[in-house]
Amino acid sequence: MPKLCCKIGPSILNADLSQLYIESQRLIDSGADYLHLDVMDGIFVPNLTFGHPVVKCLRNKLPNAMLETHMMVQNPIQWIAPMADAQVNQYTFHTEPCDDVPLVCRKIKEAGMKVGLAIKPNTSVTLIEDFIDMADMVLVMTVEPGFGGQKFMKDMMPKVKWLRNNYPNLDIEVDGGVGPNTIDYCAKAGANMIVSGTAIIQAENPPQVIKLLRESVNKEINLNASV
């Protein structure tokens, strides 16, 4: 099996969205492995961001970047084809509003994208156990989805640990309040894909913050690999 790889994906939610391409390029130049794009419909979460036309414009400017869309939407199957047309690499959707999670997973794969399963803080990780084998990644939210800048919820770490213990080669992502002060909790629990918004974007030295996050995760990956 391939070795787990640390990936840092800044969330652009707290960036200057009027300068989306410039901000995104700055993050990639700072060492980001991918960009985490928060798509909200104002229904599943009480906020509204942007949709596939914006993502498509961004893809045209960044042809080689890995783009993950975090679909905080009530009807995730509706946006699969448009996001595939925008050449999104990974389509991460919330299981909570879905009647047929396997169908959504299959449609995402048929559209040529990787599958991410996301769960809110109040959702038990065992509720997605039947679907994990259909996914490329599981996202454990460490804040309530919908807004940036919230406080990290440390009590979500047992979910990450359960996933890592039961699926040692799975990509596990954390999103919400993650930065230099909270990264060690995530790394020790077993997360290897790190979404960080405010802590990177508002930092005086974003490359330094990304480097710090990466070092914390790689330290744990290497420790576990040597056991």
2 belongs to a structural domain: no
- Which positions are annotated as active-site residues? 38, 175
CATH number at residue 177: 3.20.20.70
Phi, psi of 171 (to 5 degrees): -75, 125
Residue 194 Ramachandran class (φ > 0 left, ψ -120 to 50 alpha, else beta): beta
Q: What is the tens place of the pLDDT at every residue in 58-106? A: 999 999 999 999 999 999 999 999 999 999 999 999 999 999 999 999 9
Q: Give the chain's domain count.
A: 1
What per-residue confidence (pLDDT) applies to 225?
83
Position 1 in a domain: no
Tens digits of residue pLDDT in 193-203: 999 999 999 99
Residue 200 lies in a domain: yes
pLDDT for the residue numbered 87: 98
The partner residues of 91 in beta bridges, in order of sequence, read 69, 115
SS3 of 90, please? strand
- What does pTM read for this prediction? 0.96
User: What residues have CB less than 8 Å from 65, skipping those under 6 apart?
Assistant: 24, 28, 34, 35, 59
* Domain hosting residue 14, numbered range: 7-226
